[in-house]
Amino acid sequence: MPLIGGAAVTFAAPALTLRRRRPIRCAVTDAATAEEAALLRRAAEVADLSAGHTSPHPNFGCVIARCGDVVGEGFLYAQGTKCAELQAVEKAGGLARGATAYLNMEPGDCYSDHTAVSSLVQAGISRVVIGLRHPLQHLRGKAIQSLRSESVQVDVLGEDLQSKTFEDALKSCLMVNAPLLYRAAFRVPFSVLKYAMTLDGKIATMSGHASWISSKVSRGRVFELRGRSDAIVVGGNTVRRDDPQLTARHGGGHVPVRIVMSRTLNLPDEAKLWNVTEAYTIVTTQRGARRDLQKKLAKKGVEVVEFDILNSRDVMEYCYDRGYLSVLWECGGALSAPAISSGVIHKVYAFVAPKIIGGVNAPSPVGDLGMVQMTQALNLIDVSYEQVGPDMLISGFLQPIPDLSPVIPSSDEISILDPTVSPFDTKIISFYKTWDPYGAFSNYSPHPIQMPDENGNNLTWSTMEHYYQAHKFVGVDNPLAKDAFEQIKMAKSPEEASRLGRKLQRQHPEVTTKAHITFGVKIES
Per-residue pLDDT of 11-69, as tens digits, reads: 343 333 334 445 555 555 567 788 999 999 999 999 999 888 877 778 999 999 998 89
- Report the percent of the chain where pLDDT is more than 70: 82
One DSSP character per residue, 300-345 reads TT-EEEEESS--HHHHHHHHHHTT--EEEE---HHHHHHHHHTT--
Terminal C-alpha separation, the chain: 10
Q: Are residues 159 and 235 in the same domain?
A: no
Specify if 405 maps to a domain. no
Give pLDDT tens digits for 239-281: 998 899 888 765 455 788 999 999 999 999 999 999 988 889 9
In this prediction, residues 151-158 reach a mean pLDDT of 92
Distance of CA 320 to the CA centre of its chain: 13
- Between 142 and 443, where is the model more confident? 142
CB 36 within 8 A of CB 129: yes
Last residue of a domain, one of 150, 177, 204: 177
- Which of these is catalytic: 85, 330, 495, 496? 85
Among the ranges given (60-64, 79-83, 190-194), the one the predictor scored with the smallest mean pLDDT = 79-83
Domain shared by 263 and 155, yes or no: no
Q: State which residues form the domain around 34.
A: 30-177
Residue 19 φ/ψ, nearest 5 degrees: -65, 125
Residues 324 and 453 in one domain: no
Residue 74 has pLDDT above 50, yes or no: yes
Q: Which one has a higher pLDDT value, 140 or 429?
A: 140
What local confidence, expressed as pLDDT, does residue 45 receive? 95
Q: Which of 49-58, 236-245, 418-427, 495-504 has the lowest mean pLDDT?
A: 418-427
477 is a domain residue: yes
Question: At a CB cut-off of 8 Å and minimum separation 6, what does 152 contact?
Answer: 120, 121, 125, 126, 127, 128
Share of the chain above pLDDT 90, in %: 46
- Cα–Cα distance measured from residue 126 to residue 23, given in angstroms and rounded to the nearest whole number: 5
Q: Has residue 326 got a pLDDT over 70?
A: yes
Same-domain pairing of 169 and 240: no
Same domain, 111 and 194: no
Query: What pLDDT, on a 0 to 100 scale, did the predictor assign at position 273?
Result: 94
Total domains in the fold of the chain:
3
Query: Pick from 317, 338, 323, 54: which is nearest to 188 by CA?
Result: 317
- pLDDT for 446: 67
Nearby residues of 36 by Cβ (< 8 Å), 6 or more positions away: 102, 129, 161, 166
Strand, helix or coil at 412? helix
Residue 266, number of CB atoms within 10 A of its CB: 14
Provide the pLDDT for residue 159: 86
Measure the CA–CA gap between 383 and 111, rounded to whole angstroms: 39
pLDDT of res. 435 = 39
Among 131-140, 308-317, 381-390, 510-519, which is the least confidently predicted range? 510-519
DSSP-derived 3-state class of residue 328: strand
With residue 483 as reference, give the H or E element that holds it.
Answer: helix 479-489
Residue 49 lies in a domain: yes
Report the pLDDT averaged over residues 426-454: 54
DSSP at 512: S
90-92-95-100 Cα dihedral, nearest 10 degrees? -100
Least confident segment among 247-251, 310-314, 321-325:
247-251
Task: Name which of 112-116, 146-150, 178-182, 432-436 the model is least confident about.
Answer: 432-436
187 in the Ramachandran plot: left (φ > 0), alpha (ψ -120 to 50) or beta? left
User: For 290-377, where are the E strands, in sequence order?
Assistant: 303-307, 326-329, 347-353
Global model pTM greater than 0.85: no
Maximum pairwise Cα distance, the chain? 76
User: Does 437 lie in the same domain as 322?
Assistant: no
Look at residue 130 and tell me whether its pLDDT is greater than 90.
Answer: yes
Query: What is d(CA 271, CA 265) in angstroms, rounded to the nearest whole number?
Result: 13
Average pLDDT, the chain: 82
Q: Is the same domain home to 311 and 198?
A: yes
Q: Say yes or no: 438 and 345 in one domain.
A: no
pLDDT value, residue 302: 92
Whether 324 shows a pLDDT value over 70: the answer reads yes
486 catalytically annotated: no
Instruction: Give the length of the chain.
Output: 525
